[in-house]
Amino acid sequence: MAHRLDLTRTLVISLALISLLAPNRPPTPAHTPASPGLAPTQTSPVAVVLKATATLPPTATAPPPTSDPTPTPTTPNETPATPTSEPTPTATTAATPTPRPPDPSPWPPTRLLIPAINLDAPILTVGLVQLEANGQPITTWDVPETFAAGWHHSSAPPGQTGNTVLNGHQNAHGRVFQNLAKTQTGDEIIMYSGDVAYHYRVAEQHLLKEAGQPLQVRAENARWIMPTHDERLTLVTCAPDRKSTHRLIVVALPIRPTPPSPLEQVAQ
C-alpha cells in the first residue's frame, strides 16, 4: 500500500512540473460546422482585412522600383493626384472658334459705306453749335459742310452699346445723304473705325414732319438721336429734296455672325 501511494505522489508531482514547463496555449476548440444560413461573403472580407492588417508590414505591398514605375492606387480617403499630361485634343477643341463681332472701338468712326446707294464717304466728328432761329438762340448739332457724314461726339462709338448717330446734308454742302431715302429695309451699312469694319442692316425708316411743328413734336422727333439701351446706328438728314420740311431717320441694327453648325466645326 505504501509503495502504491509513493507511485501516486510521484505521478502527481511529474504532471505538475509538465504543466509549468509547457507553453500557455488556450485549449483547442472543437470543430464546429459552419451554419448553413451564413453566406461566405459575410465573414470572408472581415477575415482577410484583419489578416492583412495584422500580419503585413507597411512596406510589404510596395512594388520594387522600375524604370517606369506604376502609379500607386489611392485609398478611399485620399484625393487622386491631378494628371499632369495634356488632354487629348478633340474635334471640338481643334475646331475654329465661332466668329464674333469686332471688339467695341474706343475711337470715332471714320468711314461710311452703303453699297445699295453707292455711298462711300468719310466721317467727321461734330459737336453742338449755337444758332439763332426766329430771333431766339437755339442749340443744334453741327453738320459737315463737305461730302462727309458727321458723328455726334456724345453718341456711342462703333460696336458699343448705345445709339451711334451720323448726320449729313442731302441737298447742299456735298450732299452726302442725297440718296439716303432710297435705302430699303435689309440693306447693309458698313461703318469703319480705322481698319475695323462694323456691319449693320437697315431695320426702320421714318419720315417725320419738322418745319413749323410745335416744340412737343420736334422734341418727339429728337428722341431718335438720343442714347439707347441697345446697339444701333442712326442716320439723320433733311427731306424731301429741296424743301427740307421733314426729318428722314434710318435705323440700322448690327449684323451678328451665324455660328457654324457642329458638322462645319468638325470639318474645320
| Residue 27 covered by a domain | no
Do residues 119 and 112 touch, judged by C-beta distance below 8 A? yes
| Cβ neighbours of residue 6 closer than 8 Å, sequence gap 6 or more | none
pLDDT value, residue 14:
44
pLDDT value, residue 102:
77
Average pLDDT over residues 155-167: 96
Select the more confidently predicted residue: 102 or 203.
Answer: 203
| Structural domain harbouring 230 | 111-254
| Residue 48 covered by a domain | no
| Residue 59 covered by a domain | no
Distance (Å, whole) CA 213 – CA 239:
15
pLDDT of residue 53 exceeding 60:
no
Residue 18, SS3 per DSSP: helix
Distance (Å, whole) CA 6 – CA 208:
144
Into how many domains does the chain fold? 1
pLDDT value, residue 151:
98
Beta strands in the chain (DSSP E): 111-114, 119-126, 128-133, 136-141, 149-152, 162-167, 188-193, 196-209, 231-239, 246-254
| Residue 53 covered by a domain | no
Select the more confidently predicted residue: 257 or 56.
Answer: 257
| Residue 16 covered by a domain | no
Cell for 168?
A: 449729313
Distance (Å, whole) CA 144 – CA 129:
12
pLDDT of residue 262 exceeding 90:
no
pLDDT of residue 55 exceeding 50:
no
pLDDT tens digit string along 95-120?
Answer: 444 455 677 878 999 999 999 999 99
pLDDT value, residue 147:
98
pLDDT value, residue 104:
80
| Residue 143 covered by a domain | yes
Distance (Å, whole) CA 55 – CA 145:
100
Beta strands in 8-134 (DSSP E): 111-114, 119-126, 128-133
pLDDT value, residue 136:
81
pLDDT of residue 226 exceeding 80:
yes
pLDDT value, residue 217:
93
pLDDT of residue 168 exceeding 90:
yes
Do residues 112 and 174 touch, judged by C-beta distance below 8 A? no
Average pLDDT over residues 42-65: 39
Mean pLDDT over each residue of the chain, to the nearest integer: 73
| Residue 192 covered by a domain | yes
Cell for 23?
A: 507553453
pLDDT value, residue 190:
98
| Residue 79 covered by a domain | no
Select the more confidently predicted residue: 246 or 22.
Answer: 246
The CATH number of whichever domain residue 199 belongs to comes to 2.40.260.10
pLDDT value, residue 265:
64
Select the more confidently predicted residue: 192 or 42.
Answer: 192
Select from 47, 173, 73, 80 the least CA-distant residue to 121.
Answer: 173
Average pLDDT over residues 172-178: 94
Place of cell 417725320: 208
Residue type, position 242, single letter: R
